[in-house]
Structure 1
């Protein structure tokens, strides 16, 4: 169980929630929803005890599995398999058993007998935790999340951000099923479907729907919420409050709409009554004998208005328009014979491409095929093992990283954007950030404290402030609410420069209307056709 009492959360000096009490218990499957920036990720981090509240207390009883939006670094030298097994301490025992097996083969006499006894003790403990059956269970979870044996054998440092995040998700789910007693585990999952293909999302949906413990999930996947949650917590950014709905998703949507209508009706009635009181007070105030009554009426009118909720307006949406591209030559970017290895593992080899002015390219390939790596090579973030990337005449490149690598978490929103657009005037930069819903005190907020959706908006603001004529976009619609996602898709449709896009979002591909496709790891290039659309969600 997780219990929060007297909770106050802030982003900088901005109060997100105040005097809040929450409880997550066995059987709760709660959808935590609200617009980007309302405080969902902050709330989740605090409940996981990975962030401190401004005030209040969090009490956890029992194990908690927390999946943040950004993958944790952890020990990057171990294999992905060991990382998953470490959730139950099995990785240490497997390594120790292997070490003792070598000793048993090499030693003789009493030393060998001690080694045999030690091996027996470790194996007994290993068996009590599920042993080899648990290894098989971990492998099954990993496979369902798109992590085959080939990936599990790699060191964590060789994996992409998306692969590391799936390893963390597999680790959390594996831990939650220890001994089959998952009822005591609390899962806190922040956008768990990011980087998952369609089959993995379907499997995860079924897993969570049948999960016996407590669950809080942040997701923009409406189908997932509709299938899984039995309660909804709505973070209202306008009122700075959390509304709890003890019902499933569809009933919540109906109830929330009813609540909004009730609040509007109550406000209209109160404002009408307050207006009448003020008018009557004005009449009575002209007579000295009625001044006290007039003053009382004014107080009653003020009390009526002060008890009303703030006026709800439509949630703000970032107004995203990619830059007017700077003039450039016919082929602003080329690459030849690119290859990339991590140790003995070959990611891809022999990739050639030429990005002509205004061309639109989508990169497809199964998870781990090197899509993100290719964009990093083109952006100059990483160096190819063979081949070269050649800038053409007038190239101005803009790069959006799916893990927000271009954002410095220790610098403020303003400082990050100023670095991306050093030649832009201060007022023009403020206006730009305002269109991305960063204003006032938020400009001084550390980027590391932003939610995933806010980081996406900040990174996109950096792109817009440039005059890039080639955009490298790696999952630009991740973490965005539906309205902001539509703004990005519309910006893609309107942009006249060249685009190289990596995405699992079919809507983004449709908006791009690509000319060509590059298939990894082979590096095959082809003209785009609708036949490839099915691969987008699978890749």
Structure 2
């Protein structure tokens, strides 16, 4: 369906792809992964409209390939004053109305042949999207996603997550040959995420989906396309199998690289000795020996193993806490309520201690972000903050904390950095190199903007963090780096998240929104709730054992114990098989 051959493309001052090639075949469900800012969304734009781009190489699509596209950001849908049914069935309804209009024209027109041809064309288009059964198909998809109750509801009254699912259903029902989605999971709550998984798995056509969501990656795809360091790697199989393949490759390459490095170091020492001898004694023979050894070293350097898909630089995120209070109550919420058209929360009561790490969990549209905003503003009588609390805030609406018209350099001068060198030193840990320092923030990817928010927070001298969907848009490597930073943070954290991997890996307990109020749930109980609803009975224990073995492998590789690493990888393979039963 899609064939890309030796494609290269560059932005000013940034190369994106270097002779990349891949194919996408009929019926494949393909996850498109890669680090933030690697060019995934741009490549999708090229696939959709290649005429807009000047690239080297070739891109071939099947003749008359119809592409359905669900964008990463599409806020304009939230303002549409039409029902869910009218929105999803827009194409069907338009074609129906066209056929009705043509039939009316036929009653009075003398050019019936032209109208008959027009009618046939419209009917063919109607049949191509299964027009005769369109209402039945819409009902089936709405039931699959538990959205049937909203069929006659206005789009403008839905939550962001519900609108995203409706957009996916609409794109699917227009029967594209290829369905492309750019991070459709962003901000979806647990139930809507599960509904998205069901939609993806029920779709019979070809799909290409950018996602960093570990739940979807583990349960939805039979092909992986990985874009990293300007190169692409294809893998036919599941994401779990792909990660295991990468780990095996890493063990093999690190073992080979260790031997290479030992030889490189030995040769380097010999070069240094020969250089001293050639300098001290001015002997032509020593000089010739030195030149020969330098050439050997150059060959060794060129032949060093390159591993663009296993040597992925994980950002270093450092969230330092200042003036942390010992066992003090830093936040007390008493009888808090909030309502807009309807009551969202009422009679909410909870306390946060100075070192608590707490996740707020609940369906889309239940007031989580509103509550976090009220804590930040600290002007509600129901919310009491300790006078020594200093707050830093990460917003899911990134323009609230970042100025899109600023360059990266300007943004950090505004924070209080005094020199360009200090800024470069700081943001390089987050993956931003010197050539990008004058890039406008508005041109960055969603994940890169979140990394910039985290880079600003790390310099904020706070002792409480309010994080609203911090993992959204972050690639999996950055998610893991953030988890480490959260675990190491000494102050209090209140985090809104639907990423239960991050929640169970980092948080002390959970505040769950149910029946318009909030109750505190221990992490052990929360894990059981999530895994009971989304996984098999033994999945949690197997996954925990998998994580333990992966940690042991990392430690073995740290000390170049390749025999142990290989033994552990065999143990890991057996656990992976159990997860896929």
Displacement of 1:81 in angstroms is: 1.2
Residue number in structure 2 paired with 1:30: 30
Q: Which residues of structure 2 form unaligned runs of 5+? A: 102-107, 109-118, 535-581
Residue number in structure 1 paired with 2:135: 135
2:169 is the counterpart of 1:170: yes
Displacement of 1:303 in angstroms is: 5.5
Displacement of 1:468 in angstroms is: 3.6
What does 1:110-121 correspond to in 2, within 5 Å?
none
What does 1:24-63 correspond to in 2, within 5 Å?
24-49=24-49, 55-56=55-56, 58=59, 60-61=61-62, 62-63=65-66
Of residues 232, 246, 249 in structure 2, which corresponds to 1:242? 232
Contact 1:160 1:372 in 2 (8 A): no
How many residues are aligned here? 501
Residue number in structure 2 paired with 1:214: 206
Give the direction of change, closer, same or farther, for the CA distance of 1:427–1:333 in structure 2 (3 Å limit). farther
Displacement of 1:95 in angstroms is: 9.1
Contact 2:95 2:126 in 1 (8 A): no
Contact 2:19 2:231 in 1 (8 A): no
Residue number in structure 1 paired with 2:521: 528
Distance 1:277 1:460 in 2: 41
Contact 2:161 2:189 in 1 (8 A): no
Contact 1:417 1:458 in 2 (8 A): no
Distance 1:23 1:494 in 2: 42
When normalised by structure 1's length, the TM-score is: 0.72
2:410 is the counterpart of 1:415: yes
Of residues 90, 93, 116 in structure 1, which corresponds to 2:92? 90
2:67 is the counterpart of 1:64: yes
Displacement of 1:53 in angstroms is: 5.1
Residue number in structure 1 paired with 2:315: 317
Of residues 426, 433, 436 in structure 2, which corresponds to 1:432? 426
Give the direction of change, closer, same or farther, for the CA distance of 1:400–1:290 in structure 2 (3 Å limit). closer
Give the direction of change, closer, same or farther, for the CA distance of 1:60–1:196 in structure 2 (3 Å limit). same
2:446 is the counterpart of 1:455: no
Greater share of helix residues, 1 or 2? 2
Residue number in structure 2 paired with 1:144: 144
Of residues 463, 466, 474 in structure 1, which corresponds to 2:468? 474
SS at match of 1:173: helix
Residue number in structure 2 paired with 1:77: 80
Contact 1:80 1:153 in 2 (8 A): yes
Cα RMSD of the aligned pairs, angstroms, is 5.0
Of residues 190, 207, 214 in structure 1, which corresponds to 2:182? 190
Cα distance per residue 1:422-464 (max 9 Å; x no partner) = 4676554443323322231233333344334323222222222
SS at match of 1:476: coil
Cα distance per residue 1:370-409 (max 9 Å; x no partner) = 323433454469x99xx98787745543332234343344
Q: Which moved more, 1:46-55 or 1:466-475?
A: 46-55
Distance 2:185 2:238 in 1: 20
Distance 1:18 1:267 in 2: 28
Displacement of 1:205 in angstroms is: 4.2
Cα distance per residue 1:123-155 (max 9 Å; x no partner) = 989985555842342343244345453487133
Cα distance per residue 1:187-219 (max 9 Å; x no partner) = 223344444455555554455446443322333
Displacement of 1:186 in angstroms is: 1.3
Give the direction of change, closer, same or farther, for the CA distance of 1:318–1:82 in structure 2 (3 Å limit). farther
Give the direction of change, closer, same or farther, for the CA distance of 1:469–1:209 in structure 2 (3 Å limit). same
Give the direction of change, closer, same or farther, for the CA distance of 1:333–1:410 in structure 2 (3 Å limit). farther
Contact 1:400 1:460 in 2 (8 A): yes
Displacement of 1:485 in angstroms is: 2.6
2:507 is the counterpart of 1:512: yes
SS at match of 2:322: coil
Contact 1:231 1:246 in 2 (8 A): yes
Distance 1:127 1:51 in 2: 28
Distance 1:289 1:498 in 2: 68
Give the direction of change, closer, same or farther, for the CA distance of 1:208–1:79 in structure 2 (3 Å limit). same
Displacement of 1:13 in angstroms is: 1.7
Displacement of 1:161 in angstroms is: 3.7
Give the direction of change, closer, same or farther, for the CA distance of 1:296–1:28 in structure 2 (3 Å limit). farther
When normalised by structure 2's length, the TM-score is: 0.67
SS at match of 2:8: strand
Distance 1:93 1:349 in 2: 44
Distance 1:509 1:95 in 2: 49
Q: Which residues of structure 1 form unaligned runs of 5+? A: 101-109, 111-120
Residue number in structure 2 paired with 1:346: 342
Residue number in structure 1 paired with 2:302: 306
Contact 1:453 1:479 in 2 (8 A): yes
Residue number in structure 2 paired with 1:232: 224
Displacement of 1:287 in angstroms is: 9.2
